Structure formats: structure tokens, C-alpha cells
Structure 1
């Protein structure tokens, strides 16, 4: 079964109480988890599963209940391994969804998530833009559809978020907005930037920021950078399950290591600096924005 067949089953009300979701498109899989939960009027509970023993425990929890529960629970289990299917028992009241990146064997419960078709990509783009209360030109839709054909919905959603940010002050997204966003190839390695800043190497941090800011507006850089810092701060306080469920942090150990290295107080000071940068950017000329970002980051580093 693929996601299109699952959609047909959901629309007809023929939803099973056990599914094994296979594929790397976490956004699309989460979308179908929500659809199944809505159809079954269920409460979603996400659980990170690392061992067969933890999986047995989750299966037992899904099998129990119904006497004192008014609504079923959908257990969305994020697995770090492919489960042994003969050990999984379908619940009768609750719903169990096992979420893995790949499946060597498929059976009646397996849903293989495939890259969306062109028409599905176009429909998805229109839906996201409409929710943001904006319009988008047909040329812009065509450019995005061609760019993401055969790729995951998660990648497309991230790009759409960036385009919406780039066109914040515009009512309609045009082809030029899409072209500007698709030209961005420089990844923001949060660990690299923080390490360079902490070392106090003005030349190195300047060169790296120049490379990044030559491809994206300062506002977009601050947005992405702040988002990553927020996840690091959250990892200082939250459990792995909570990070995966609410912040889509699927590899919490990386963020927890950064939290330990930098320290909570220094991270909070950095958030304050980023907030100050954002305020200044909104009232400064474009010529001075890059200098402001570099200066503020270096000033923060002096506090170590």
C-alpha cells in the first residue's frame, strides 16, 4: 500500500488499527498520522522506540484500555530499527503506527510513502500558501513543482517556509521569489558558526557569514539561526520524546551536546543578542545589516 491507497481508505472510513509507515518523508507521514487520528477521533501520543523490548511495551499499552477510556489513543512510535512483524499484535480499540525509514519486507499493514506526483506537489503548495493568507502565481508554482518532483514533502515544506519569510511584506509570491530561494545552497551549520564565534576568529567568522549572507537575506539567516538555538535551549530541559514530538528534533543527542558545551546562561544571552539583532535589522539600512550581525555575534562571544 502507498499513501494514495491509504488516503482512499481514510476517505471511505476503512482505517486499520495498525500501520507500519515506511519512508524518509517525515512531514508526509505526520500528516497521515493526523488524518487517521481525526478519522478515529483519537488522541496522538508519540514515542521514541530504540529497542525491541520498548516496542513490546508500547504494543502492550496499545492493546490495553477501552473500559475506562472514552477516546482511543493513537500511539505513533518512531523506531530506530525495522520491527519483527510477527511479534506485533493489532489493537482493537487504540491505534498503533510504527514509523521507520525503510522496510525490507512488506505486508498488509505496510504503507510505503512515495514521492508526491506533480499534481500533488502543486496542490500542496497552494494549500500551504493559502493557509498563510497569500497568493502565488502559476509560474511560481510551476518552478517549485519542477524543483521538487521526486523529492520529499519535508524538503518542499522547508523551502515554502523560507519563501513565505522572504516574501513577508508581499501579498503574492512571484517566480522571482522562488528563484531567489532556490539559489540558496549554503547550509547553516550551527555548531561550526558557534565554534568560530567562540574562538574569536574575526576573519574566519566574517568569511563564513559573508558566504552565507551572499545567498540569503539577513532576516532569513536570523530566523534559521534562532530556530536552531531554540532547539538547543529546549534540549537543555526537555526529554528526547518531548523534543521529537513537539520540535521535530529527531537526533536530540547532537543538540544536548551543544547545550552542555555552550551552557544554558550563554545560550540565553545569545537569544537576547539575536532578538536585539532582529530589532535593529527592522530599522537599519540593508548596507549595514551584515556588519550588525557579525558585530553582535562577536560581542556575545566575549562573554565566554
Structure 2
């Protein structure tokens, strides 16, 4: 199943008991959970598990209604690779499994594979969030493969909203070719990185997810399996090398799990981890 098919099910209110989200795009997944909640009028409860064993032990409880409670949507973050299907046909709640990733060997129409945003979707989102944005700037953003990631697009819109200068084309060009946080990291400039974080302390999960996406795509570029902004990613690979890039991705992976499982609103863990990474490398 893709997100367009999921959207049809949500709008028609033909909701299944189980969905398995397969994507690293945090904001896009959150958007569809909110749409589902609004469509059927159910609240969302969040859970997180570190292993399949821990999750499986709680599965029956998650599927059953709590005493004196109503049916809910259970958004379950699985901080591990999901590699085996489960049977919850009789669940009284709606279960949304949100693993770090789904194993390629899993085949099921319950798995929702989220695609990247289309240019027209990016344009519609920009127009809805930035009322006075210039049409040329909209075209420039929507043509960028980088902002076809909903989390990256969300972060950009938040930045433009805060700065108030989103009619300036130069601001976007700098964002595309010289992403501040990435440049600070690959140049080992902790002072610049700290200054960047100070501006976005209200959006830690979005920022961590965006950085994870950027550096993981750079890692894929090592094996020539991505065609997104190749020049941009090659510059990262050239600056860091394979070993440093792998260690950075590992740190961001752990931070991503931390922020998603705790809903923490504080960038101090990210700041400290990156500082130690810079010092050790």
C-alpha cells in the first residue's frame, strides 16, 4: 500500500485494524496519523518498544480496550527493524506500527510505503502555511529533491515563518547549497553548530530526523544507490570519509530513537553527542 491508497481509506473511513508505516519521514507519518484520528474521531496514544520480545509481550494488552476506556489509535514506535508480521484481526483498537524500518523480506498490503512529496503537494503546503510567499520561490522549493522529504520541508517552513524573510530567493539558495547545520558538522565547527541549534530548540525531533535523512542519503551515495542531490551528498562524503560518516549516522540513529521514544523537547543530547564526535574525530 502507498500513502495515496491510505489517504483513500482514511477519507472513506474504511479503516483497518493494523497499519505498518515504512518510512523515515517523521513529519509525513505524523500527518497521516493526525488525518486518521480526525477522520474517525479517535484519540491517539503513543508507545515505544526497544525489542520485538518486549513489544510482543504487550501486544494483547495493546489490542484490548482498557478498563472503562474507549477505542483508540495506538501509535507504536518500534525502535528496531521489523522483520515478522503479526496477526491482530480481532484487535479492538487501531494499531499503527512505526518501526525504524521494515525488512525487505516482508510482503503485506498492511505495510504503507510512503513516497516522497510531489511538486504540486509541496506547492499546496507552502501556499497554506506561508500566505504571502512569492510564486517564484514556491517553484524553486518545489523543484528541489531535498524538499520532497516532508520533514525537511516542514523544517524549512518553520524557519521561513520565524525569519519573516521568505520572499528572499537568496535565503532558499543558501538553504539548498549550504545547509548550515550540515556545514557546521562536516567542518567540525561546534560554535556554528551550537548557534544553529539555539535557533531551533523548539523542533528537536524534526531537526534530528532531517539530519539523519541527509547523512544517510550521503552514506547511500557511497554505493551509488541514490540520485537525490548527488553533488550535495558527494560533498559530504568527500569531507567526512566512510568511517566518520558511519559513526555520525550511528549517533544520529540513536538520537532519533531517543527523541521519538521520549518526546523530549531539548537539543542538549544532540549538542553533546555531536561535540564528542567532533572531538574524537
The equivalent residue for 1:76 is 75
CA distance in 2, matches of 1:59, 1:212: 41
The equivalent residue for 1:182 is 176
Which digits, 9 at most, give the CA deviation of each residue in 1:110-145, with x for residues without a partner? Answer: 11011111111111222232xxxx411110111111
What stretches of structure 2 of length at least 5 have no aligned partner?
Answer: 208-256, 277-281
Larger radius of gyration: 1
Q: How is 1:192-203 mapped onto 2 (pairs within 5 angstroms)?
A: none
The equivalent residue for 2:17 is 17
The equivalent residue for 1:122 is 123
What's the offset of the Cα at 1:102?
3.3
SS in 2 for 1:173: coil
Does residue 145 of the first structure (1) align with residue 159 of the second (2)? Answer: no
Structure with the bigger RCO (C-alpha within 8 Å, sep 6+) is: 2
What's the TM-score, normalizing by structure 1? 0.60
CA distance in 2, matches of 1:55, 1:47: 10
The equivalent residue for 1:255 is 269
The equivalent residue for 1:161 is 158
SS in 1 for 2:75: strand
257 and 165 in structure 1: CA distance in 2 versus 1, 3 angstrom threshold = closer
The partner residue of 2:200 within 216, 224, 238 is 224
CA distance in 1, matches of 2:76, 2:261: 11
CA contact (8 A) 1:140 1:173 kept: yes
Which digits, 9 at most, give the CA deviation of each residue in 1:196-218, with x for residues without a partner? Answer: xxxxxxxx99x764x669xxxx7
The equivalent residue for 2:36 is 36
What's the TM-score, normalizing by structure 2? 0.65
CA distance in 1, matches of 2:271, 2:193: 24
What stretches of structure 1 of length at least 5 have no aligned partner?
Answer: 193-203, 232-239, 263-304
256 and 114 in structure 1: CA distance in 2 versus 1, 3 angstrom threshold = closer
245 and 36 in structure 1: CA distance in 2 versus 1, 3 angstrom threshold = farther
The equivalent residue for 2:60 is 60
What's the offset of the Cα at 1:221?
5.9
The partner residue of 1:173 within 167, 182, 188 is 167
